[in-house]
Amino acid sequence: MSNKKIFITGADGFIGSHLTEKLVQLGYNVKALAQYNSFNSYGWLDDIPQKILPEFEKVLGDIRDISHMEKLIKNCDVVFHLASLIGIPYSYKSPYSYIETNIKGTQNIVQACLNNNVDKLIHTSTSEVYGSAEFVPITEQHPLKGQSPYSASKIAADQIAFSYFASYELPLTICRPFNTYGPRQSMRAIIPTVIVQLLKNKDEIFLGSLSPTRDLNYIEDTVDGFIASLLCKHNIGETVNIGSNFEISIKNVVDIIIELSGKKVEIIQEDIRMRPKNSEVDRLWADNSKAKTLLDWSPQYSGLEGFRKGIQKTFKWFQSPKNIEKYKNMGFIS
């Protein structure tokens, strides 16, 4: 596959920038899409090692523009579709924007892939599509429940992508990562929210609900799962969980990070940080047996020991002055 041209949407984001970096390091020919803006910014792509920057093509655009996507995907062999509007709290305030980006944007990508006869489209889902677990660990056969406008938009995006496989034989696989954490993650996620507040010398940290559980995955494992999906020859038409098969409560996550910081702080739960009662996803725990069998992939940061290792690496990254400086807003990010 190393001689294939790879196009990555959402390359400017948390997972996308790490995936771009790893693929370039492995010698792949990469075209990385960042969302167009007037600041000449390529998002987190601007922060990857300087020696890698000349080794891939950076382009600006918007997945909501079908004509532009057609042109960018032309002559590309593989497409990783990661571009998405994230942030569950914001989806309550601006649901139409999630429809435009996550649903219609995905429609544009799959149509452009079909028209350009790509060899493979790897579409990015999310564990949020499962809603609160009806059984654990959660397999790919678990019912889908849109408990927020964000998760509903991602369910729709998954179904649109799959329909192109079923209807037009588009060579598609759906990667469904569970909660990923690590360097470059935004404060819309719990782990950066805790770390940044601790490093800003707060005697108090402000959080939402502490009782939900999550299956948390270090960024290296998630990226390796995507690359395993690229290399697999037998995953066309398949949906695959990328998860650690390890469940931990938000409360325990916070305790581990506080312990690592060596600080004594008071935890204050704020109503503004709580999801609506019926929208909260209480439990996520991945069954990753399909990924192990089909993709020959296994997490390297699994279990409590692996989680602590990933948290230590993440905390160290945030401690760098040039990194923590990027997290200026200490208020609640919706």
Q: Encode pLDDT of 74-92 as tens digits.
A: 999 999 999 999 989 999 9
Neighbours of 77 (CB within 10 A): 17
pLDDT at 185 over 50: yes
SS3 33: strand
Average pLDDT over residues 181-204: 92
Of 116 and 326, the structure prediction assigns the larger pLDDT to 116
pLDDT at 57 over 60: yes
Determine the pLDDT at residue 334: 42
Contacts of 9 (CB under 8 A, 6+ apart): 16, 33, 63, 79, 80, 81, 82, 83, 109
Quick one: pLDDT at residue 177? 98
Q: Supply the pLDDT for residue 281.
A: 94
Please state, as a whole number, how many other Cβ atoms lie within 10 Å of the Cβ of residue 38.
Answer: 5
Q: How would CATH label the architecture of 5-181+217-245+285-301? A: 3-Layer(aba) Sandwich (3.40)
Superfamily of domain 190-212+247-282+306-324: UDP-galactose 4-epimerase, domain 1 (3.90.25.10)
Fold agreement between 5-181+217-245+285-301 and 190-212+247-282+306-324: no
Going by pLDDT thresholds of 50, 70 and 90, the confidence category of residue 329 is low
What pLDDT is recorded for position 95? 97
d(CA 16, CA 23): 11
Q: Rounded to whole angstroms, how far apart are CA atoms 43 and 101? A: 18
If DSSP codes are grouped into helix, strand and coil, which group holds residue 171?
coil
pLDDT at residue number 69:
98
* Average pLDDT along the chain: 95
Res 1: pLDDT = 63
Query: Do residues 209 and 275 touch, judged by C-beta distance below 8 A?
Result: yes
Structure tokens that stand for 308 in this block: 């602590």
Determine if residue 245 is left, alpha or beta; phi over 0 gives left, psi from -120 to 50 gives alpha, anything else beta: left
Record the tokens describing residue 243, joined without a space.
């998860």
Predicted confidence at residue 306, as pLDDT, reads 98
Rounded average pLDDT over 33-56: 94
What is the average per-residue pLDDT within 147-174?
98
Domain boundaries, the chain: 5-181+217-245+285-301, 190-212+247-282+306-324
Q: Kindly indicate the confidence band of residue 333, based on its pLDDT and cuts at 50, 70 and 90.
A: very low
Confidence of residue 73 (pLDDT cuts 50, 70, 90): very high
* Confidence (pTM): 0.96
Render pLDDT for 277-315 as a digit per residue (tens, 0 to 9): 889 999 999 999 999 999 999 999 999 999 999 999 999
